[in-house]
Structure 1
């Protein structure tokens, strides 16, 4: 097995992953950027680079490189309903339209120029954090297994990433639960889970749990989940069961250091009463929330003003954004229930969406789909809880599903990389502990993204009600200032402002 040693392994070569890899390589760190896809490629994205994206690219020294790709100019946004009502909203600055096919490739070239080793077509099979805080990443590339040993790992693997881990949860844990051993401990106990990837139907990038069993227990795996199994922690008779009064992890056990009645309890270091729950039992989504699917295609022959258009209709919405070479990106977020039976191809779904919105149908019939420029992703869950740290730092959509209605998803992805990079640098230099990195990064993400996410989700939920859509549009027509205020509320403030 080929073994590669590096300082940083960034998993996911999208916007956030490429930017942080470039940033850390420029600091002198050996950096590996890994993705299971082959690039360049088309992916579901609005391909709208907001004024905030321009500012971040400029700060990262990338604006000239991106501008050389001749992106389309975008000056305002237009909301259009199925009934034909519309309102124009000026943007706070000049935006751009550029395909991810071109943008991702440009960022990879910039990262490689900075010294990053870009490893594509490499499927991540597992990530294991060791007792010394370093990580081992197992990947499969061109049919061969490879091992990456990194001082640290950064997750930028996209919206459908999951990393369930078994272990104790301590109060003050702002991301997921830590392993047992006290606050900040990352020792991996026997039988703990690791982060692993698995290709599943409809998911372009999903990470699923794979339990690591002790070799002697593997032959008993089939019975290990039975409550009757005396070694099963869910069995009350098991010595390690959290419901067993003698279990050291039982909050009611006087011997538990986290028990307030225990004189040895350090107070602020106490574990919460939900210790020993596993991440497999934590559902990051509300079961009642609707599932969506995202689809996109490029079209030729559609004349566009320097406007990004958003069409609202029952069951979803669709955006038109001019991009390079006179093309138009057509991307939609559709309710899976509302469009069940509408067809299985991207173009069939886009046609079904256009049938629900006459102004959109009139626009799309003038253009022709560009062959090979179609992409889809499902499921899209819009109510995942914010989780910037889960064993490793998570960037962009890996930490939260940014409501597409915000129109600022790419800006948030890039900003998360900007927030994380200096902390990662300090950690690698020994100036910051792993627990300190986690604490500062989680605080920065919540402070930076909290307001845009709240307003974005509020506006997103309003689309489920046609009456609310009509009311919002009417208010925006009567008060353009209010419409601009709502748009501003969903966007990031300039770097350094909160």
Structure 2
């Protein structure tokens, strides 16, 4: 019997495993995929995310990865107009290929068992609203095994497979046209600046991740592209064709073989789902529009907030029902403002008339964009002590 099984080995799941293992709980971090691997991600650790990871004692481990330091950001529109954005501190560019592996190693050092390449095929429960015991059926190739756990936490991302077990509510989500694509590029420099290029049908970000490599990540409306590109590099080429400055920027860049990946659909406007039979963290709980650059910070924060109640539950100081209530309340309090303003910006920057007016307003009131971006950020004063 273990204390907690965490399903999903991304940012949120790894941080959750570290937090609970450090508290002395027996933790298994389980992911159906193998690591290290490339993921669709801006690979931009905002100043808030950097502060959160440093507060978790991970600063030295991440510094060893030699992250690129990003000091500023710039929004670039089809018209050629651009808006500089002030960052509240130094951000880091780190490949998820390296970051996820580093977090897994930290989880192991904390005492967690990291189980990758293993799918959870079924979850069986017994108990009541006060306490539940779980039995997980796992499969690795043709091998089957069972894990008994006092708690289970879902960290399977925005498109993870929701298992069918008591308490789960299954729904058919509305169609969503957004696709996320990512590739590393060589023969291009980013010079300490995050660049966001906006065009009809989406936007694309360029950010250095160190070692002379730039990450290109885009969020695109598939319904806006005909014919639909067949591969990631084709998507990036189609995006460049819609933005002259972007096309010039990436004209000499070379895709790094093996780094291309895509994910669809990307849901931006769903309300947070903190609990669906089990507590959910990271993108399984909520997704902020990528243009805000704070997705990894939110993943970390959700793990921190959930860990507080998980620890109390495992100690017998609270019930499962109270855990659900407290965690839902905490997510609402911390995320409501950033999500609201993030979605306002997502809709506004996707409207050409609004962006035209916005660039004029920003040139006359340069602080307005910085204030809007600040409204999408989590407050550092809310970082938890553990």
What TM-score, normalized to structure 1? 0.74
* Contact 2:167–2:276, Cα closer than 8 Å, also in 1: no
Match in the other structure for 2:183: 297
Displacement of 1:194 after TM fit? Answer: 7.3
The answer (yes or no) to whether the contact 1:427–1:437 under 8 Å persists in 2 is yes
Instruction: Pick closer, same or farther for the CA change 1:434–1:194 going to 2, 3 Å.
Output: closer
Matched residue count: 381
Match of 2:343 in 1: 457
Task: Say whether the 8 Å CA contact 1:342–1:352 is kept in structure 2.
Answer: no
1:393 aligned counterpart, secondary structure: coil
Partner of 2:123: 127
Q: Specify the alignment match of 2:70 in structure 1.
A: 74
- Per-residue CA deviations over 1:379-426 (Å, capped at 9, x if unaligned) read 112122211111111101101122112110000000111111121111
Q: SS state of the match for residue 197, structure 2?
A: strand
Long gaps (5+) in structure 1: 166-191, 196-278
In structure 1, which of residues 377, 395, 404 is the aligned counterpart of residue 281 of structure 2? 395
CA RMSD of aligned residues (A): 1.7
1:225-374 equivalent positions in 2, closer than 5 A: 279-280=169-170, 282-283=171-172, 285-286=173-174, 290-374=176-260
| 31-40 or 477-486, which deviates more | 477-486
Determine the C-alpha separation between the residues in 2 that align with 1:88 and 1:464. 18
TM-score, with structure 2 as normaliser: 0.95
User: Displacement, 1:495?
Assistant: 4.0
Residue 46 (structure 2) aligns with: 50
**Which protein is richer in helix relative to its size?**
2
| Higher Cα Rg, which structure | 1
Q: 2:9 aligns with which of 6, 13, 19?
A: 13
Give secondary structure in 1 for the equivalent of 2:265.
Answer: strand
- Measured in 2, the distance between the counterparts of 1:161 and 1:456 equals 23
Offset of residue 487 of structure 1: 0.8
1:377 to 244, 247, 263: 263
Q: Deviations over 1:101-156 (max 9, x none)?
A: 01000000000011111000011212233225011111211221111110000111
Higher relative contact order (CA 8 A, sep 6+): 2
Give 1:76 deviation, angstroms.
0.9
Counterpart contact for 2:71–2:90, Cα < 8 Å: yes
For the 8 Å contact 2:167–2:277, the answer to whether it is kept is: no
Runs of 4+ residues deviating >2 angstroms: 161-165, 192-195, 495-498
Within the candidate set 34, 37, 47, 1:41 is matched to 37
Q: Paired residue for 1:63, among 59, 62, 66?
A: 59
Q: Identify the residue that residue 104 of structure 2 maps to in structure 1.
A: 108
My pick for the range that moved more, 461-470 or 428-437, is 461-470
Does 2:352 align with 1:466?
Answer: yes
